[in-house]
Chain A
Protein backbone atom coordinates (compact mmCIF):
# COMPACT_ATOMS: atom_id res chain seq x y z
CA UNK A 1 0.00 0.00 0.00
CA UNK A 2 1.63 3.29 -1.04
CA UNK A 3 2.23 5.88 1.61
CA UNK A 4 1.73 9.60 1.03
CA UNK A 5 2.94 12.03 3.65
CA UNK A 6 5.49 14.78 4.28
CA UNK A 7 8.82 13.10 5.09
CA UNK A 8 11.38 14.99 7.20
CA UNK A 9 14.82 15.57 5.68
CA UNK A 10 17.34 13.95 8.03
CA UNK A 11 20.45 14.63 5.92
CA UNK A 12 21.10 16.25 2.60
CA UNK A 13 24.61 15.83 1.26
CA UNK A 14 26.15 17.26 -1.88
CA UNK A 15 28.22 14.50 -3.52
CA UNK A 16 29.62 16.94 -6.06
CA UNK A 17 28.41 20.07 -7.83
CA UNK A 18 25.19 18.57 -9.15
CA UNK A 19 24.67 15.20 -7.43
CA UNK A 20 22.96 15.02 -4.03
CA UNK A 21 22.09 12.32 -1.53
CA UNK A 22 18.87 12.98 0.35
CA UNK A 23 17.98 11.04 3.48
CA UNK A 24 14.28 11.03 4.39
CA UNK A 25 12.46 9.54 7.35
CA UNK A 26 9.46 7.63 6.07
CA UNK A 27 9.03 4.34 7.94
CA UNK A 28 6.12 2.99 5.89
CA UNK A 29 8.06 3.33 2.65
CA UNK A 30 11.23 1.94 4.20
CA UNK A 31 9.32 -1.08 5.46
CA UNK A 32 7.66 -1.96 2.16
CA UNK A 33 10.12 -0.87 -0.52
CA UNK A 34 11.76 -3.31 -2.92
CA UNK A 35 14.84 -2.69 -5.05
CA UNK A 36 13.92 -0.94 -8.29
CA UNK A 37 10.87 0.83 -6.88
CA UNK A 38 10.56 4.60 -6.74
CA UNK A 39 8.92 7.47 -4.88
CA UNK A 40 7.29 10.67 -6.13
CA UNK A 41 8.76 13.74 -4.40
CA UNK A 42 7.31 17.23 -4.34
CA UNK A 43 10.34 19.41 -4.91
CA UNK A 44 8.89 22.73 -3.77
CA UNK A 45 5.70 24.05 -2.20
CA UNK A 46 3.37 25.83 -4.59
CA UNK A 47 2.54 25.19 -8.22
CA UNK A 48 5.77 25.81 -10.10
CA UNK A 49 7.15 23.22 -10.54
CA UNK A 50 3.73 21.62 -10.45
CA UNK A 51 4.32 17.90 -10.66
CA UNK A 52 6.15 15.59 -8.29
CA UNK A 53 9.34 14.01 -9.54
CA UNK A 54 9.88 10.23 -9.73
CA UNK A 55 13.08 9.16 -7.96
CA UNK A 56 14.55 5.68 -7.54
CA UNK A 57 14.93 4.51 -3.97
CA UNK A 58 18.71 4.38 -3.64
CA UNK A 59 18.88 2.67 -0.26
CA UNK A 60 16.79 1.71 2.72
CA UNK A 61 19.02 2.34 5.72
CA UNK A 62 19.15 -0.22 8.51
CA UNK A 63 17.64 0.67 11.86
CA UNK A 64 14.24 1.33 13.25
CA UNK A 65 13.83 4.92 12.14
CA UNK A 66 12.69 4.00 8.67
CA UNK A 67 15.11 6.00 6.55
CA UNK A 68 15.38 5.94 2.79
CA UNK A 69 17.98 7.61 0.60
CA UNK A 70 17.48 9.26 -2.76
CA UNK A 71 20.45 9.96 -5.01
CA UNK A 72 19.67 12.54 -7.67
CA UNK A 73 21.25 14.93 -10.12
CA UNK A 74 20.15 18.49 -10.75
CA UNK A 75 18.69 18.44 -14.24
CA UNK A 76 16.07 21.20 -14.06
CA UNK A 77 14.12 23.54 -11.84
CA UNK A 78 12.46 20.79 -9.80
CA UNK A 79 15.66 19.07 -8.79
CA UNK A 80 17.31 22.47 -8.21
CA UNK A 81 14.64 23.37 -5.67
CA UNK A 82 14.89 19.92 -4.12
CA UNK A 83 18.62 20.42 -3.62
CA UNK A 84 17.83 23.49 -1.49
CA UNK A 85 15.67 21.57 1.03
CA UNK A 86 17.42 21.86 4.38
CA UNK A 87 17.59 19.31 7.18
CA UNK A 88 14.26 19.35 8.96
CA UNK A 89 12.24 20.38 5.90
CA UNK A 90 9.25 18.23 5.05
CA UNK A 91 9.19 16.73 1.55
CA UNK A 92 5.82 15.31 0.45
CA UNK A 93 6.69 11.75 -0.51
CA UNK A 94 4.52 9.12 -2.16
CA UNK A 95 5.61 5.53 -2.44
CA UNK A 96 6.87 2.91 -2.77
CA UNK A 97 5.61 2.76 -6.34
CA UNK A 98 6.06 0.53 -9.35
CA UNK A 99 7.36 -2.96 -9.82
CA UNK A 100 11.00 -3.39 -8.93
CA UNK A 101 13.66 -5.86 -9.98
CA UNK A 102 13.06 -9.58 -9.91
CA UNK A 103 16.09 -11.06 -8.18
CA UNK A 104 18.10 -13.61 -10.23
CA UNK A 105 18.12 -17.31 -9.48
CA UNK A 106 20.86 -18.66 -7.22
CA UNK A 107 24.05 -19.41 -9.16
CA UNK A 108 23.45 -16.62 -11.69
CA UNK A 109 25.98 -13.79 -11.80
CA UNK A 110 24.24 -10.39 -11.80
CA UNK A 111 25.82 -7.80 -14.07
CA UNK A 112 24.69 -4.29 -13.11
CA UNK A 113 24.98 -1.76 -15.92
CA UNK A 114 24.63 1.90 -15.02
CA UNK A 115 24.76 5.07 -17.08
CA UNK A 116 24.98 8.45 -15.39
CA UNK A 117 22.60 8.97 -12.50
CA UNK A 118 21.07 5.55 -13.23
CA UNK A 119 23.55 4.42 -10.57
CA UNK A 120 20.99 5.62 -8.00
CA UNK A 121 18.93 2.45 -8.32
CA UNK A 122 21.78 0.00 -7.64
CA UNK A 123 22.81 0.32 -3.99
CA UNK A 124 19.39 -1.03 -2.96
CA UNK A 125 19.71 -3.89 -5.47
CA UNK A 126 23.21 -4.75 -4.20
CA UNK A 127 21.91 -4.96 -0.63
CA UNK A 128 18.88 -6.98 -1.71
CA UNK A 129 21.09 -9.45 -3.59
CA UNK A 130 23.26 -9.83 -0.50
CA UNK A 131 20.24 -10.30 1.77
CA UNK A 132 18.93 -12.99 -0.59
CA UNK A 133 22.39 -14.66 -0.65
CA UNK A 134 22.78 -14.30 -4.40
CA UNK A 135 26.14 -14.13 -6.15
CA UNK A 136 28.15 -10.93 -5.79
CA UNK A 137 27.35 -8.71 -8.75
CA UNK A 138 29.72 -6.95 -11.12
CA UNK A 139 29.03 -3.27 -11.73
CA UNK A 140 29.72 -1.71 -15.13
CA UNK A 141 29.40 2.03 -14.68
CA UNK A 142 29.62 4.68 -17.37
CA UNK A 143 29.51 8.46 -17.22
CA UNK A 144 30.67 11.49 -19.19
CA UNK A 145 33.80 11.98 -17.11
CA UNK A 146 35.44 11.12 -13.80
CA UNK A 147 33.61 13.94 -12.01
CA UNK A 148 30.23 12.43 -12.88
CA UNK A 149 30.98 9.12 -11.17
CA UNK A 150 29.30 9.02 -7.77
CA UNK A 151 28.65 6.46 -5.02
CA UNK A 152 31.81 4.49 -5.84
CA UNK A 153 32.65 4.36 -2.15
CA UNK A 154 29.42 2.47 -1.44
CA UNK A 155 30.30 -0.27 -3.94
CA UNK A 156 33.88 -0.47 -2.67
CA UNK A 157 32.62 -1.01 0.89
CA UNK A 158 30.26 -3.70 -0.31
CA UNK A 159 33.16 -5.37 -2.17
CA UNK A 160 31.37 -5.09 -5.49
CA UNK A 161 33.86 -5.20 -8.38
CA UNK A 162 33.45 -2.14 -10.59
CA UNK A 163 34.42 -1.61 -14.24
CA UNK A 164 34.32 2.01 -15.33
CA UNK A 165 33.81 3.72 -18.67
CA UNK A 166 33.94 7.46 -19.34
CA UNK A 167 33.23 9.20 -22.59
CA UNK A 168 36.29 11.45 -22.20
CA UNK A 169 38.55 8.68 -20.94
CA UNK A 170 39.25 10.41 -17.61
CA UNK A 171 38.49 7.17 -15.74
CA UNK A 172 38.33 3.54 -16.85
CA UNK A 173 37.81 2.65 -20.50
CA UNK A 174 37.27 5.54 -22.91
CA UNK A 175 33.83 5.22 -24.47
CA UNK A 176 30.39 3.94 -23.61
CA UNK A 177 29.47 1.21 -21.13
CA UNK A 178 28.75 -1.19 -23.96
CA UNK A 179 32.45 -1.15 -24.83
CA UNK A 180 33.13 -2.61 -21.38
CA UNK A 181 30.13 -4.88 -21.33
CA UNK A 182 30.71 -6.65 -24.66
CA UNK A 183 33.89 -8.51 -23.67
CA UNK A 184 32.40 -9.42 -20.30
CA UNK A 185 29.50 -11.12 -22.00
CA UNK A 186 31.82 -12.76 -24.54
CA UNK A 187 34.16 -14.10 -21.85
CA UNK A 188 31.48 -15.50 -19.54
CA UNK A 189 32.31 -19.00 -20.78
CA UNK A 190 28.76 -20.24 -20.54
CA UNK A 191 28.32 -19.26 -16.89
CA UNK A 192 24.76 -18.00 -16.31
CA UNK A 193 24.55 -14.21 -16.25
CA UNK A 194 21.68 -11.77 -15.81
CA UNK A 195 21.90 -8.09 -16.67
CA UNK A 196 20.25 -5.29 -14.67
CA UNK A 197 20.49 -1.90 -16.37
CA UNK A 198 19.48 1.67 -15.59
CA UNK A 199 20.48 4.81 -17.43
CA UNK A 200 19.63 6.95 -20.45
CA UNK A 201 17.33 5.40 -23.03
CA UNK A 202 20.00 5.05 -25.78
CA UNK A 203 22.15 3.12 -23.30
CA UNK A 204 19.25 0.87 -22.30
CA UNK A 205 18.49 0.24 -25.94
CA UNK A 206 22.10 -0.76 -26.65
CA UNK A 207 22.41 -2.92 -23.53
CA UNK A 208 19.08 -4.61 -24.21
CA UNK A 209 20.15 -5.41 -27.78
CA UNK A 210 23.47 -6.87 -26.59
CA UNK A 211 21.71 -9.03 -24.01
CA UNK A 212 19.05 -10.26 -26.40
CA UNK A 213 21.73 -11.03 -29.00
CA UNK A 214 23.69 -13.07 -26.47
CA UNK A 215 20.62 -14.80 -25.05
CA UNK A 216 21.21 -13.33 -21.60
CA UNK A 217 18.24 -12.41 -19.39
CA UNK A 218 18.11 -8.65 -18.95
CA UNK A 219 15.99 -6.29 -16.87
CA UNK A 220 15.86 -2.60 -17.80
CA UNK A 221 14.78 0.10 -15.33
CA UNK A 222 13.19 2.82 -17.49
CA UNK A 223 13.02 6.53 -16.87
CA UNK A 224 9.99 8.50 -17.99
CA UNK A 225 8.15 11.73 -17.33
CA UNK A 226 5.49 10.81 -14.79
CA UNK A 227 2.80 13.34 -13.95
CA UNK A 228 1.11 11.03 -11.41
CA UNK A 229 3.23 7.92 -10.80
CA UNK A 230 0.16 5.88 -9.83
CA UNK A 231 -1.12 4.63 -13.17
CA UNK A 232 -3.83 7.19 -13.78
CA UNK A 233 -2.57 9.84 -16.20
CA UNK A 234 -1.23 7.38 -18.81
CA UNK A 235 1.51 9.90 -19.56
CA UNK A 236 4.58 7.77 -18.87
CA UNK A 237 3.93 4.94 -21.30
CA UNK A 238 6.68 3.13 -23.14
CA UNK A 239 6.35 1.45 -26.50
CA UNK A 240 6.16 -2.35 -26.46
CA UNK A 241 6.23 -4.86 -29.34
CA UNK A 242 3.17 -4.27 -31.54
CA UNK A 243 0.48 -6.89 -31.88
CA UNK A 244 -2.00 -7.46 -34.71
CA UNK A 245 -4.01 -4.41 -33.56
CA UNK A 246 -1.05 -2.03 -33.77
CA UNK A 247 1.26 -0.30 -31.30
CA UNK A 248 1.18 -1.40 -27.67
CA UNK A 249 1.99 1.01 -24.82
CA UNK A 250 2.55 0.14 -21.17
CA UNK A 251 2.77 2.42 -18.15
CA UNK A 252 6.28 2.82 -16.80
CA UNK A 253 4.92 3.78 -13.37
CA UNK A 254 2.79 0.75 -12.64
CA UNK A 255 3.74 -1.96 -15.15
CA UNK A 256 7.39 -0.93 -14.72
CA UNK A 257 9.67 0.86 -14.19
CA UNK A 258 11.53 -2.44 -14.59
CA UNK A 259 10.80 -4.37 -17.78
CA UNK A 260 12.46 -7.34 -19.41
CA UNK A 261 14.48 -6.22 -22.43
CA UNK A 262 12.23 -8.19 -24.75
CA UNK A 263 9.10 -6.50 -23.42
CA UNK A 264 9.90 -2.98 -24.66
CA UNK A 265 10.85 -1.27 -27.91
CA UNK A 266 13.14 1.65 -27.03
Chain B
Protein backbone atom coordinates (compact mmCIF):
# COMPACT_ATOMS: atom_id res chain seq x y z
CA UNK B 1 0.00 0.00 0.00
CA UNK B 2 1.30 3.43 -0.84
CA UNK B 3 2.31 5.73 1.98
CA UNK B 4 -0.08 8.69 1.95
CA UNK B 5 2.18 10.94 4.08
CA UNK B 6 3.28 14.04 2.21
CA UNK B 7 6.92 14.33 1.22
CA UNK B 8 8.71 17.58 2.17
CA UNK B 9 8.20 19.01 -1.31
CA UNK B 10 4.47 18.48 -0.93
CA UNK B 11 4.11 20.40 2.34
CA UNK B 12 2.81 23.90 1.78
CA UNK B 13 4.38 26.15 4.41
CA UNK B 14 2.94 29.39 3.08
CA UNK B 15 0.58 31.38 5.27
CA UNK B 16 -1.61 34.42 4.73
CA UNK B 17 -2.39 37.01 7.37
CA UNK B 18 -4.99 39.27 5.84
CA UNK B 19 -3.13 41.13 3.10
CA UNK B 20 0.29 39.77 4.12
CA UNK B 21 1.47 36.52 2.52
CA UNK B 22 4.54 34.75 3.91
CA UNK B 23 6.41 31.82 2.38
CA UNK B 24 6.53 30.12 5.76
CA UNK B 25 5.27 30.90 9.26
CA UNK B 26 8.56 31.84 10.98
CA UNK B 27 9.35 35.54 11.32
CA UNK B 28 12.32 36.95 13.24
CA UNK B 29 11.09 39.46 15.82
CA UNK B 30 11.93 43.12 16.13
CA UNK B 31 14.88 44.00 18.31
CA UNK B 32 16.43 40.57 17.96
CA UNK B 33 17.39 40.61 14.30
CA UNK B 34 18.94 44.04 13.73
CA UNK B 35 18.20 45.15 10.17
CA UNK B 36 18.59 41.62 8.81
CA UNK B 37 22.07 42.09 7.35
CA UNK B 38 23.67 41.20 10.71
CA UNK B 39 22.45 37.62 10.26
CA UNK B 40 23.76 37.17 6.71
CA UNK B 41 26.84 35.26 7.97
CA UNK B 42 24.64 32.74 9.77
CA UNK B 43 21.62 31.99 7.59
CA UNK B 44 19.89 32.72 4.29
CA UNK B 45 17.29 35.41 4.94
CA UNK B 46 15.27 33.86 2.10
CA UNK B 47 14.76 30.75 4.23
CA UNK B 48 12.66 32.74 6.72
CA UNK B 49 9.02 33.71 6.39
CA UNK B 50 10.14 37.25 7.14
CA UNK B 51 11.80 39.47 9.68
CA UNK B 52 10.92 42.61 11.56
CA UNK B 53 13.46 45.39 11.78
CA UNK B 54 14.67 47.05 14.93
CA UNK B 55 12.01 49.61 15.91
CA UNK B 56 12.34 52.82 13.90
CA UNK B 57 11.81 56.33 15.22
CA UNK B 58 11.82 59.61 13.35
CA UNK B 59 15.32 60.54 14.52
CA UNK B 60 18.18 58.19 15.43
CA UNK B 61 18.26 57.09 19.08
CA UNK B 62 21.24 55.91 21.07
CA UNK B 63 19.34 54.10 23.78
CA UNK B 64 19.81 53.75 27.52
CA UNK B 65 23.00 53.66 29.54
CA UNK B 66 24.46 50.22 30.36
CA UNK B 67 23.87 47.78 31.94
CA UNK B 68 21.02 47.18 29.52
CA UNK B 69 20.46 43.44 29.86
CA UNK B 70 20.32 40.86 32.59
CA UNK B 71 19.85 37.10 32.34
CA UNK B 72 17.08 35.60 34.47
CA UNK B 73 15.95 31.97 34.86
CA UNK B 74 15.12 30.82 31.29
CA UNK B 75 14.84 34.41 30.19
CA UNK B 76 16.40 37.81 29.99
CA UNK B 77 15.53 41.40 30.81
CA UNK B 78 16.39 44.20 28.46
CA UNK B 79 16.22 47.94 28.66
CA UNK B 80 17.99 48.82 25.42
CA UNK B 81 16.00 52.02 25.09
CA UNK B 82 14.92 51.60 21.45
CA UNK B 83 18.33 52.48 20.01
CA UNK B 84 17.99 52.68 16.22
CA UNK B 85 19.33 54.42 13.13
CA UNK B 86 16.16 56.46 12.49
CA UNK B 87 13.74 56.13 9.60
CA UNK B 88 15.74 58.16 7.06
CA UNK B 89 18.92 56.13 7.50
CA UNK B 90 16.84 52.96 7.31
CA UNK B 91 15.34 54.02 3.98
CA UNK B 92 18.65 55.24 2.57
CA UNK B 93 21.11 52.67 3.89
CA UNK B 94 19.34 49.52 5.08
CA UNK B 95 16.24 48.87 3.00
CA UNK B 96 17.83 49.13 -0.48
CA UNK B 97 20.20 46.27 0.41
CA UNK B 98 17.25 44.15 1.52
CA UNK B 99 15.12 44.48 -1.61
CA UNK B 100 16.36 41.21 -3.07
CA UNK B 101 16.72 39.30 0.19
CA UNK B 102 13.92 36.94 -0.80
CA UNK B 103 11.72 37.32 2.26
CA UNK B 104 9.21 39.71 3.78
CA UNK B 105 10.82 42.77 5.38
CA UNK B 106 8.56 44.29 8.01
CA UNK B 107 9.42 47.66 9.54
CA UNK B 108 8.71 48.12 13.24
CA UNK B 109 7.61 51.67 14.05
CA UNK B 110 7.42 53.56 17.32
CA UNK B 111 7.03 57.10 18.48
CA UNK B 112 6.97 59.13 21.65
CA UNK B 113 3.90 60.92 20.38
CA UNK B 114 1.07 60.03 18.04
CA UNK B 115 2.52 62.55 15.59
CA UNK B 116 5.80 60.65 15.54
CA UNK B 117 4.05 57.34 14.84
CA UNK B 118 2.24 59.01 11.97
CA UNK B 119 5.35 60.69 10.58
CA UNK B 120 7.45 57.51 10.60
CA UNK B 121 4.64 55.46 9.08
CA UNK B 122 3.96 58.03 6.37
CA UNK B 123 7.63 58.02 5.46
CA UNK B 124 7.62 54.22 5.15
CA UNK B 125 4.34 53.96 3.27
CA UNK B 126 4.91 52.43 -0.13
CA UNK B 127 8.69 52.07 0.34
CA UNK B 128 9.93 49.58 -2.26
CA UNK B 129 10.79 46.27 -0.67
CA UNK B 130 8.72 46.74 2.47
CA UNK B 131 6.09 44.06 3.11
CA UNK B 132 4.30 45.57 6.12
CA UNK B 133 4.49 47.91 9.09
CA UNK B 134 4.41 46.73 12.70
CA UNK B 135 3.42 49.34 15.27
CA UNK B 136 5.09 49.00 18.66
CA UNK B 137 2.60 50.47 21.11
CA UNK B 138 4.56 49.72 24.26
CA UNK B 139 6.67 52.81 24.65
CA UNK B 140 6.03 55.77 26.95
CA UNK B 141 3.59 58.35 25.70
CA UNK B 142 4.80 61.69 26.87
CA UNK B 143 1.63 63.38 25.61
CA UNK B 144 -0.75 61.11 27.51
CA UNK B 145 0.62 61.47 30.98
CA UNK B 146 3.37 58.88 30.96
CA UNK B 147 1.26 55.85 30.04
CA UNK B 148 2.35 53.48 27.33
CA UNK B 149 0.14 53.79 24.24
CA UNK B 150 -0.78 50.14 24.29
CA UNK B 151 -2.41 49.98 27.73
CA UNK B 152 -5.34 52.24 26.92
CA UNK B 153 -7.78 50.84 24.32
CA UNK B 154 -9.09 54.28 23.30
CA UNK B 155 -5.52 55.48 22.71
CA UNK B 156 -4.73 52.30 20.77
CA UNK B 157 -7.77 52.91 18.54
CA UNK B 158 -6.76 56.53 17.96
CA UNK B 159 -3.10 55.95 17.10
CA UNK B 160 -3.84 52.95 14.88
CA UNK B 161 -6.48 54.91 12.98
CA UNK B 162 -4.08 57.82 12.50
CA UNK B 163 -1.35 55.52 11.20
CA UNK B 164 -3.86 53.71 8.99
CA UNK B 165 -4.66 57.02 7.29
CA UNK B 166 -0.99 57.94 6.97
CA UNK B 167 0.12 54.61 5.52
CA UNK B 168 -2.82 53.28 3.51
CA UNK B 169 -0.71 51.11 1.22
CA UNK B 170 1.02 48.93 3.81
CA UNK B 171 -0.42 45.92 5.62
CA UNK B 172 -0.63 47.12 9.21
CA UNK B 173 0.42 44.89 12.11
CA UNK B 174 -0.25 46.17 15.62
CA UNK B 175 2.01 44.72 18.32
CA UNK B 176 0.25 44.44 21.66
CA UNK B 177 1.78 44.82 25.07
CA UNK B 178 1.11 42.09 27.66
CA UNK B 179 1.35 44.66 30.46
CA UNK B 180 -2.40 45.14 30.50
CA UNK B 181 -5.26 43.49 32.33
CA UNK B 182 -7.34 42.76 29.22
CA UNK B 183 -5.18 42.20 26.16
CA UNK B 184 -8.24 41.33 24.07
CA UNK B 185 -9.66 44.82 24.68
CA UNK B 186 -6.49 46.34 23.24
CA UNK B 187 -6.76 43.92 20.31
CA UNK B 188 -10.36 44.94 19.62
CA UNK B 189 -9.38 48.60 19.76
CA UNK B 190 -6.57 47.99 17.25
CA UNK B 191 -9.05 46.24 14.95
CA UNK B 192 -11.46 49.17 15.21
CA UNK B 193 -8.59 51.51 14.34
CA UNK B 194 -7.94 49.58 11.14
CA UNK B 195 -5.26 47.03 12.01
CA UNK B 196 -4.92 44.13 9.58
CA UNK B 197 -2.96 41.83 11.88
CA UNK B 198 -2.15 41.64 15.59
CA UNK B 199 1.26 40.58 16.87
CA UNK B 200 1.64 39.60 20.50
CA UNK B 201 3.17 39.64 22.96
CA UNK B 202 5.80 42.25 23.51
CA UNK B 203 7.99 41.85 26.63
CA UNK B 204 6.66 41.71 30.19
CA UNK B 205 7.81 44.42 32.57
CA UNK B 206 10.27 43.09 35.09
CA UNK B 207 13.30 43.91 37.18
CA UNK B 208 16.34 42.33 38.73
CA UNK B 209 18.22 43.32 41.88
CA UNK B 210 21.86 42.82 42.75
CA UNK B 211 21.76 41.70 46.36
CA UNK B 212 25.43 42.50 46.89
CA UNK B 213 25.11 46.16 45.92
CA UNK B 214 21.39 46.42 46.83
CA UNK B 215 20.84 48.17 43.51
CA UNK B 216 18.75 47.35 40.44
CA UNK B 217 20.85 45.45 37.88
CA UNK B 218 19.59 47.54 34.97
CA UNK B 219 20.57 51.20 34.84
CA UNK B 220 16.97 51.82 33.71
CA UNK B 221 15.75 49.92 36.83
CA UNK B 222 12.92 48.27 34.83
CA UNK B 223 13.24 46.12 31.71
CA UNK B 224 11.28 43.84 29.43
CA UNK B 225 11.31 40.11 30.11
CA UNK B 226 11.58 37.71 27.18
CA UNK B 227 12.66 34.13 26.54
CA UNK B 228 11.22 30.68 27.33
CA UNK B 229 10.13 31.86 30.80
CA UNK B 230 7.26 33.91 29.33
CA UNK B 231 5.91 31.28 26.94
CA UNK B 232 2.86 30.11 28.93
CA UNK B 233 1.79 33.70 29.61
CA UNK B 234 2.13 34.64 25.96
CA UNK B 235 0.40 31.50 24.75
CA UNK B 236 -2.63 32.27 26.92
CA UNK B 237 -2.85 35.81 25.55
CA UNK B 238 -2.60 34.59 21.95
CA UNK B 239 -5.36 32.08 22.66
CA UNK B 240 -7.62 34.80 24.06
CA UNK B 241 -6.98 37.33 21.33
CA UNK B 242 -7.50 34.73 18.62
CA UNK B 243 -10.87 33.73 20.09
CA UNK B 244 -12.11 37.19 20.98
CA UNK B 245 -10.83 39.62 18.34
CA UNK B 246 -11.07 38.00 14.93
CA UNK B 247 -7.91 39.31 13.26
CA UNK B 248 -5.00 37.20 12.04
CA UNK B 249 -2.46 36.74 14.86
CA UNK B 250 1.34 36.68 14.74
CA UNK B 251 2.11 35.02 18.06
CA UNK B 252 5.35 35.26 19.98
CA UNK B 253 6.80 34.92 23.45
CA UNK B 254 9.63 32.55 24.27
CA UNK B 255 9.36 30.40 21.15
CA UNK B 256 12.56 28.36 21.18
CA UNK B 257 11.61 24.87 19.94
CA UNK B 258 9.44 23.56 17.13
CA UNK B 259 6.90 22.42 19.71
CA UNK B 260 6.54 26.01 20.94
CA UNK B 261 5.86 27.31 17.44
CA UNK B 262 3.26 24.63 16.79
CA UNK B 263 1.52 25.28 20.11
CA UNK B 264 1.20 28.97 19.25
CA UNK B 265 -0.31 28.01 15.89
CA UNK B 266 -2.82 25.65 17.53
CA UNK B 267 -3.73 28.51 19.90
CA UNK B 268 -4.53 30.72 16.93
CA UNK B 269 -1.33 32.13 15.44
CA UNK B 270 -1.24 32.20 11.66
CA UNK B 271 2.53 32.65 11.91
CA UNK B 272 4.99 33.08 14.76
CA UNK B 273 7.79 35.44 15.64
CA UNK B 274 10.98 34.28 17.30
CA UNK B 275 12.99 36.74 19.33
CA UNK B 276 15.35 35.82 22.13
CA UNK B 277 16.16 32.54 20.35
CA UNK B 278 18.08 34.61 17.80
CA UNK B 279 20.44 35.68 20.58
CA UNK B 280 21.43 32.30 21.92
CA UNK B 281 21.10 30.33 18.67
CA UNK B 282 21.66 32.56 15.62
CA UNK B 283 20.52 29.85 13.19
CA UNK B 284 17.59 28.74 15.37
CA UNK B 285 14.89 30.53 13.35
CA UNK B 286 15.76 28.71 10.14
CA UNK B 287 15.99 25.43 12.04
CA UNK B 288 12.41 25.99 13.21
CA UNK B 289 11.25 26.29 9.58
CA UNK B 290 12.83 22.93 8.71
CA UNK B 291 11.44 21.30 11.84
CA UNK B 292 7.92 22.61 11.22
CA UNK B 293 8.12 21.11 7.75
CA UNK B 294 9.36 17.80 9.14
CA UNK B 295 6.54 17.77 11.70
CA UNK B 296 3.98 18.32 8.93
CA UNK B 297 5.44 15.40 6.98
CA UNK B 298 5.29 13.18 10.06
CA UNK B 299 1.75 14.21 10.95
CA UNK B 300 0.43 14.11 7.40
CA UNK B 301 -0.32 17.86 7.36
CA UNK B 302 -0.26 19.07 3.76
CA UNK B 303 -0.55 22.82 4.48
CA UNK B 304 0.71 24.24 7.76
CA UNK B 305 -1.96 26.98 7.74
CA UNK B 306 -4.54 24.24 8.36
CA UNK B 307 -3.43 23.85 11.98
CA UNK B 308 -3.99 27.49 13.00
CA UNK B 309 -6.60 27.71 15.74
CA UNK B 310 -7.28 23.97 15.81
CA UNK B 311 -6.75 23.69 19.56
CA UNK B 312 -9.12 21.06 20.97
CA UNK B 313 -10.79 22.64 23.96
CA UNK B 314 -12.77 20.71 26.54
CA UNK B 315 -16.51 21.22 26.22
CA UNK B 316 -16.49 23.45 29.28
CA UNK B 317 -13.27 25.15 28.34
CA UNK B 318 -13.29 28.92 28.48
CA UNK B 319 -10.47 31.38 28.32
CA UNK B 320 -11.48 33.02 31.58
CA UNK B 321 -9.14 32.80 34.56
CA UNK B 322 -9.68 29.84 36.89
CA UNK B 323 -11.28 30.51 40.24
CA UNK B 324 -9.24 30.18 43.42
Instruction: Please give the residue numbers on chain A whose beta carbons come within 8 Å of chain B beta carbons, in ascending order.
Output: 1-2, 4, 42, 47-52, 92, 94, 224-225, 227-228, 230-239, 245-249
Contact = CB atoms under 8 A, between A and B. Distances in A.
Contacts of B318: none
B276 A50 contact: yes
A235 B34 CA distance: 12
B212 to A, nearest CB: 13
A233 B74 contact: no
Contacts of A228: 278-280, 282
B39 interface: yes
Given A47-B227, A228-B278, A235 B75 contact: no
Interface residues of B, number: 34
B78 interface: yes
Chain A to chain B: the 5 pairs with minimum beta-carbon distance, closest first:
A235-B69, A228-B279, A47-B74, A47-B228, A227-B279
B321 interface: no
5 contacts: A225-B67, A227-B69, A230-B282, A235-B78, A237-B68
Given A48-B74, A249-B65, 5 more contacts: A2-B42, A50-B75, A94-B282, A232-B38, A235-B80
B76 A237 contact: no
B278 A225 contact: no
B73 interface: yes
Nearest to B84: A234
A245 B279 CA distance: 30
A225 B69 contact: yes
A63 to B, nearest CB: 27
Contact of A232 (B34, B65, B66, B67): B34
Contact of B280 (A2, A42, A247): A42
A233 B279 contact: yes
Given A232-B278, A235-B78, A50 B38 contact: no
Given A232-B279, A233-B32, A50 B41 contact: no
B302 to A, nearest CB: 32
Given A51-B76, A231-B34, A232-B33, A249 B66 contact: yes
A92 B287 CA distance: 15
B228 A239 contact: no
A225 B70 contact: yes
B54 to A, nearest CB: 8
Interface string B283-315: 100000000000000000000000000000000
Interface in B257-281: 276, 278-281
Nearest to B257: A47
B162 interface: no
Interface in B21-80: 31-34, 38-39, 41-42, 62-63, 65-71, 73-76, 78, 80
